[in-house]
Amino acid sequence: MKRDVVIIGAGVVGSSIARELSRYNVDICVLEKASDVCEGTSKANSGIVHAGFDAEPGTLKARYNVAGSRKMEALSRELDFSYKRNGSLVLCFSKNDYPKLEELKKRGESNGVEGVTILTGDEVRKMEPAISDEVVAALYAPTGAIVCPFGLTIAMAENAAVNGAEFRFNEPVTGIKADGDGFVVTTDKGAYECKAVINAAGVYADAVHNMVCADKIHITARKGEYCLYDKKVGGTVSSTIFQLPGAYGKGVLVTPTVHGNLLLGPTATDTLDKEEVNTTKTGLDTLQATAAKSIKAVPYRSVITSFAGLRAHEDGGDFIVGESSVKGFYDAAGIESPGLSAAPAIGEFLAGEVAGYLGATEKSDFKATRKGIPNVALASKEERDRLIKENPLYANVICRCELVTEGEIVDAIKRPVGATTLDGVKRRTRAGMGRCQAGFCSPKTLEILARELGTDITKITKHGEGSEFLSEHKGL
Amino acid sequence: METKNLTCIGCPMGCALTVTYEPGNRDSVKVTGNTCKKGELYAIDEVTNPTRIVTGTIRVSNRKNLVAAVKTKDVIPKSKIFDVAHELMKISVEAPAKIGDVVVADICGTGSDLIITRNVE
Amino acid sequence: MNTKIAIIGGGPAGLAAAVSAFDAGVKDVVILERDDKLGGILNQCIHNGFGLHTFKEELTGPEYAERFIEKVRERNIECLLKTIVVDLSEAQGGGVTVTAMSAEKGMFEIQAEAVVLAMGCRERPRGALNTPGYRPAGIYSAGTAQRYVNIEGKMPGHEVVILGSGDIGLIMARRMTLEGAHVKAVAELMPYSGGLKRNIVQCLDDFGIPLKLSTTVTDIKGKDRVESVVLSKVDEKNNPIPGTEEEIPCDTLLLSCGLLPENELSSMLGVDLSPVTGGARVDESLETSISGVFACGNVLHVHDLVDYVSGEATEAGKHAAEYVLGKTPAGEEAAIALETGNGVRYTVPSFVRPGRLENFLTVRFRVGNVYKNPEICVYLGDKCLQRRKKQICAPGEMEQVMIKKSDIEAMAPGETIRIAIETE
């Protein structure tokens, strides 16, 4: 069977492209090397929808960031994922740096970012009392927002699947051959003939691109470490707090997450190993020390987890989006920050391009909306009561920290592009994301996964083959 | 004479005991550091005939992902701990079973029965 | 629904509190338990050593729990299982509104005249330790591993390193060994173990498992499953000492790094919490800052023996009953504060109303370090009332002193009670 399009990568960009392309009468197959959507860069980032003042005017980063940011709120309603417009502040710590703040404001204006203003130190502290006394001024961008990166990616993937896109997991692409007017994409499990290929392979987008194109690209994995803090300190700040790059380096951000935690990060260190997602003592110490410049008190004792992600930095410094030198082969490469913000716009653009190339028509029965898993924790008493009457599993609390019920976990497994791993359940329901970090719920979640997937509990993994939790006794 | 330093386990006090003894001669054992009679008895036993209660789990033949909890009803020689642990891997019980049910009498020739310690429904 | 006393949690504390409240004359008691059975964490504690104080015999956890479950059954005390309490709030006109949910009843409220908080505690996870490294499968808190092994009969791993020498970690070292795993080391950040002596003897020494003191995990390797951990020695400020790294190949890291009282519901209710214990600040009757709300067991402060939990809960249940029956002895005079002197981390209670005491005030406390040949001293005001010699005091073992009611009543206004550790 010859497909129309193979999308390589089921991160936020691949999922966005799949969702937008599923508006058209096109056969879509998404190939993902990991066991789930949102397993690479998309799962470990700041969760920020950047207003768009940071990118150099005229770059693709600027273009897609502003466009994506403008789309995000409507998309969050259409696809039911968590989004909050909380505004962004860029802190300036020295009068000498003031011109840089003005420059940033100008840049924002020329990128078309609405409402950018400069506040005095006192105005900032009035708005955010936790901000350090050393802050002399700040840029305020009211359109800055926060989003659940998992929720966004999963929502788009689910919606794509409902509209006919096929997702194939655990299939790393091993080769691509241009074949007449199409391509043959091979994985370790099979070969996929298609008319067009879209490369959304994150930190591996260079390898995928270079399989086909003579003009090579090169991506460096840039590690960013983060610390996540307990919800009880989630209200430390309400806006996303950036630091104006200064003598001390690029700075780190302090932000509430859309679920009410506090997040600090990221660091930036280049690494040769594109799977090197470990945290380091130096990294964690540095990031907390750097964040300490922004706020009066870092709540060190309330940290609940730390993690690291890898950004795909292309040598040219900008996104690579569009048709490559090979007809029918499209890139969404070098998608580092503000990639999450840009993803909806990149998806829309590339889907349009590819549909045009294929001469595809729009579907008459495209389902543009998607309803997420019921959220018992956030539901009102009446809604909870109704949910429980409808399905008693919504009363069985599995994750006590985040109040996630068995009903939600079963939903997460049974949905299109459903969860098959513990991490998959966690990203879809928040089970295990609270302060006990899955100590209490993981035995129960494993049991539910095994039951719903009709497999043995020893086969259930954290994030795919090789990450099994349990085994039978080996004997003495 | 030999000397051994032991930590008394008779109670949470955890007295530091010093025991001098002639191996094989129970009457030769001298204990210091204990604050009660229990400490002395523990030390004498520990250098002449150390014993333990073994607890563990066994399979439940008619249940999945559920094991039954068991223990030796009485203390057994310390040297037999692994014999019992080995045996536990081989045996199973059928649900239902209740606390106190004897699963194996005189397990591994220890003179102690193996009994259920958690109700299996 | 209405009740006289709602007991939040059906573990050892909740069970003992319910029985005691009932026996003190309040028959209208309800236990709310989120699991499908009573007994709480005791169900997975299948090792022996429980009940020496309470029953004068050595029981396993489930056996110990069963004794109390029997008592609850004999008294026909109502137990709502598979019921999670989602909110506690002070009701208008007194008492507490307990909001709960269950499959059977949906969302529902209970109006209780008094509440006993008995929610227990949870384990400190890896994230809270901020241990750097990868985040593969194979890292478990010791209690989670205990559940896998002792309830489900599955092995969480085969080559094991344990961080933290808390009792659950020590118990799991033996348990994993008897199930055929190779426990390579127990690393402890502090220069002493936080576990009970007999657990060090019977769980580590018996099996030749090394206990590495002043040592911590400084890196976790392995992308999918744990492949090794790096242990480092730490200095007196608990900072890793460069050059002392030792990489130990293993597939499993168990964490036994402390227990944290689970007081989310108490916070919702507005109960005053101690920053040291993470549990409520209570008076001699185990009553919290909110009248009619009592706390006991590990939700109040982490205990090392379940017997002490039962004892404390029995007190809490009795006082809750007295409260409901209007029998609380006067004692409305100004409360006397208990202060922590040298070496004492906290005391339970935090304050006392002498008029409410029967004959004695029992003060439970923990020390912050290991003290050899210390004296436990009780000061009433400036006067040293008691001086008790001990061979050793260690953070892992809870201490207790008793003070006569008459001595407290003789105190001058404004004086405080101070417990201190003194060494020569």
On whether both A231 and A135 belong to a single domain, the answer is yes
Top residue of A448, A455, A471, A476 to mutate, by most chain B CBs within 10 Å, is A476
Tally the residues of chain A.
Answer: 476
How close does chain C come to B13, measured CA to CA in Å?
Answer: 8
Same domain, A131 and A185: no
A391 and A286 inside one domain: no
Structure tokens at C348: 């339970």
Residues A130 and A263 placed together within one structural domain of the fold = yes
A50 is catalytic: yes
Per the CB < 8 A criterion, the answer to whether A13 and A339 are in contact is yes
Give the distance, in angstroms, between the CA of residue A82 and the centroid of all CA atoms in the same chain. 12
Residue C37 near residue C81 (C-beta atoms within 8 A): yes
Q: How many domains does chain C have?
A: 3
Closest residue on chain B to C392 (Cα):
B13
Specify whether A180 is located in the same domain as A270: no
How many helices, marked H, and strands, marked E, lie in chain B? 2, 10
Chain B residues close to C62, C-beta within 8 Å: 69, 99, 117-119
Chain position carrying tokens 């969050």: A76
Phi/psi for A150 (5° steps) reads -70, -45
DSSP for residue C148: I
Contact call for residues C208 and C122 (beta carbons, < 8 A): no
A458 contacts in C (CB within 8 Å)?
Answer: 154
Is there a domain that residue A370 lies in? no
Threshold 0.90, pTM exceeds: yes
Dig out the tokens for B14 from the structure.
């955890």
Phi, psi of B13 (to 5 degrees): -55, -40
Task: Kindly state the tokens that stand for A351.
Answer: 């889907």
Provide ipTM, 2 decimals: 0.95
Q: Which pair of structure tokens corresponds to residue C238?
A: 């608990």
pLDDT digits (tens, 9 = 90+) for C124-144: 998 888 899 999 999 999 999
Query: How far apart (Å, rounded) are the C-alpha atoms in residues A88 and A61?
Result: 18
The closest of A256, A232, A41 to A145, measured between CA atoms, is A256
- Tokens linked to A188: 């370790």
Residues C117, C135, single domain; the answer is no
C30 within 8 A of C7, measured Cβ to Cβ: yes
Q: Which two tokens stand for residue A137?
A: 């001024």
Mutate to test the interface with A, among C84, C98, C154 (most CBs of A within 10 A): C154
- Whether the per-residue pLDDT at C340 is higher than 80: the answer is yes
How many Å apart are CA C6 and CA C293, to the nearest integer?
A: 10
| A79: in domain | no
Phi, psi of A445 (to 5 degrees): -65, -40
**C116/C18 same-domain check:** yes
B46-62 mean pLDDT = 95
| Same domain? C324 vs C335 | no
In CATH, what number is assigned to the domain containing residue C214?
A: 3.50.50.60
Amino acid at position A156, single letter: M
pLDDT at C392 (0 to 100): 83
Q: Which of A325, A358, A391 is the endpoint of a domain? A: A358
- Examine residue A369 and state whether it is found in any structural domain, yes or no: no
Q: Of A255, A284, A314, which one is at a domain's C-terminal end?
A: A314
The two tokens of residue C91 are 């009701």
C252 and C266 part of one domain: no
Distance CA C227, CA C225 (A): 6
* Alpha helical stretches, state H, A253-391: 281-291, 339-358, 381-390
The Cα–Cα gap between A282 and C251 comes to 25
Residue A116 vs residues A113, A142, A338, B74, C322: alpha-carbon distances, Å: 7, 7, 18, 77, 63
For residue C127, count other CB atoms closer than 10 A to its CB. 22
Domains and CATH numbers, chain B: 2-49 (no CATH), 55-116 (3.10.530.10)
Which residues of B fall below an 8 Å CB-CB distance to C? 6-9, 11-16, 35, 52-57, 59, 65-67, 69, 71, 78, 81-82, 85, 88-89, 99, 117-119
Rounded CA separation C174/C206 (Å) = 9
Tell me, yes or no, whether A137 and A224 share the same domain. Answer: yes
For chain A, list the contacting chains (3+ Cβ pairs, <8 Å): B, C
Q: Which residues contact C406 (CB under 8 A, 6 or more apart)?
A: none
H/E element, C129: helix C126-129
DSSP C150: I
- Identify the band that residue C391 occupies on the pLDDT scale cut at 50, 70 and 90: confident
Question: Residue C119's beta-bridge partner residues?
Answer: none
Contacts of A476 in chain B (CB under 8 A): 82, 85-86, 89
What's the average pLDDT block by block, 10 residues per block, for chain A (476 residues)?
95 98 98 98 96 94 97 98 97 94 95 96 97 97 98 98 98 95 95 98 98 97 96 97 78 95 96 96 94 95 95 96 97 97 98 98 97 96 94 96 97 98 98 92 97 97 97 71
Distances (CA, A) of C259 to C12, C34, C73, C120: 16, 20, 30, 10
Interface contact flag, C206 B52, Cβ < 8 Å: yes
Nearest to C286 by CA among C253, C248, C321, C312: C312
Residues A388 and C106: beta-carbon distance below 8 Å? yes
Band the pLDDT of C237: cuts 50, 70, 90: very high
Q: Which value, in Å, is the radius of gyration of the alpha carbons in chain C?
A: 22
The single residue listed with the structure tokens 């989120």 is C34
CB-CB contact of C1 with C109 (8 Å): yes
Flag whether A298 is in a domain.
yes
B63 to chain C, closest Cα gap in Å: 10
Q: How far is A456 from chain B (nearest CA, A)?
A: 9
User: Are C10 and C62 within 8 A, CB to CB?
Assistant: no
Domain encompassing residue C412: 331-424
Q: Give the mean pLDDT of B74-84.
A: 96
Chains with 3+ CB–CB pairs under 8 A to B are: A, C
CA distance C318 to C21: 5
Report the alpha-carbon distance of residue A329 to residue A344 in Å, rounded: 20
Is pLDDT above 90 for B24? no
Lowest mean per-residue pLDDT among A345-359, B12-26, C226-240: B12-26
Q: Which helix (H) or strand (E) holds A125?
A: helix A121-127
Q: Which of C288, C313, C328 is the last residue of a domain?
A: C328
User: What are the tens digits of pLDDT across the range A287-310?
Assistant: 999 999 999 999 999 999 999 999
Q: What is the pLDDT of residues A227-269, one digit of tens each?
A: 999 999 999 999 999 999 865 567 799 999 999 999 999 999 9
Which residue bears the tokens 């090169």?
Answer: A218
Question: Quick one: which of B31, B35, B41, B27 has its CA closest to B5?
Answer: B31
Quick one: pLDDT at residue B1?
Answer: 86
Distance of CA A313 to the CA centre of its chain: 16
Which residue's entry shows tokens 């498992």? Answer: C209
CATH number for A394: 1.10.10.1100
Q: Which residues neighbour A70 within 8 Å (Cβ) at sequence distance 6 or greater?
A: none
How many domains in chain A?
3
Instruction: State mean pLDDT over B52-72.
Output: 96
Dihedral sign (CA C102, C8, C65, C61): positive
Between CA C375 and CA C184 the distance in angstroms is 38
Question: What was the pLDDT predicted at A361?
Answer: 97
Look at residue A119 in the predicted model and tell me its pLDDT: 97
* Domain edge (last residue) among A293, A324, A358: A358
Whether residue A468 lies inside any domain: the answer is: no
Residue B11 has a pLDDT of 65
pLDDT at position C325 over 80: yes
Last residue of a domain, one of C257, C276, C294: C257
pLDDT band at B15 (very low <50, low <70, confident <90, very high): confident
Closest Cα to residue B22, out of B4, B5, B35?
B4
List, in sequence order, every residue forming a beta bridge with C380; answer none if it has no partner: C383, C417
Residues A160 and A201 in one domain: yes
**Same domain (yes/no): C263, C352:** no
Is there a single domain that holds both residue A262 and residue A393?
no
CA of C82, closest CA in chain B: separation in Å? 17
Distance CA C78, CA C6 (A): 10
C382: domain CATH number is 2.60.40
| C298 and C371 both lie in a single domain | no
Tell whether B66 lies on the interface with A, counting CB pairs under 8 A. no
Question: Could you tell me if C263 and C304 lie in one domain?
Answer: yes
Q: Determine, yes or no, domain membership for A321.
A: yes
Amino acid letter, B75: V
Residue C257 above 90 pLDDT? yes
The secondary structure element, H or E, covering residue A149 is helix A149-162
In this complex, do B67 and C180 lie within 8 Å of one another by their Cβ atoms? no
CATH of the domain at A339: 3.50.50.60
Asked whether the beta carbons of A224 and A268 are under 8 A apart, the reply is: yes
Kind of pairing between the strands at C29-32 and C2-8: parallel
Using the 3D structure, point to which of C310, C328, C346 is the last residue of a domain.
C328
Per the rule left: phi > 0, alpha: psi between -120 and 50, beta: everything else, A201 is: alpha
Residue A233 lies in a domain: yes
A250, A208: one domain: no
CB A229 within 8 A of CB A264: yes
Question: How many whole angstroms separate alpha carbon C395 and alpha carbon C302?
Answer: 11
State the pLDDT at residue A247: 59
Where is B96: in which H helix or E strand? none
DSSP A274: T
Same domain membership, residue A114 and residue A224: yes
C-alpha–C-alpha distance, residues C136 and C252, integer Å: 10
Q: Say if residue A131 is in the same domain as residue A230.
A: yes
Based on the fold, state whether residues A283 and A388 are members of the same structural domain: no
Are the CB atoms for C303 and C196 separated by under 8 Å?
no
Can you spell out the DSSP letters for A150-216?
HHHHHHHHHHHHHTT-EEE-S--EEEEEEETTEEEEEESS-EEEEEEEEE--GGGHHHHHHHH-SS-
The contacts of residue B58 (CB under 8 Å, 6+ apart) are: B67, B68, B70, B88, B91, B92, B93, B103
Residue A7 is part of which domain span?
Answer: 2-42+150-216+316-358
Residue type, A454: G
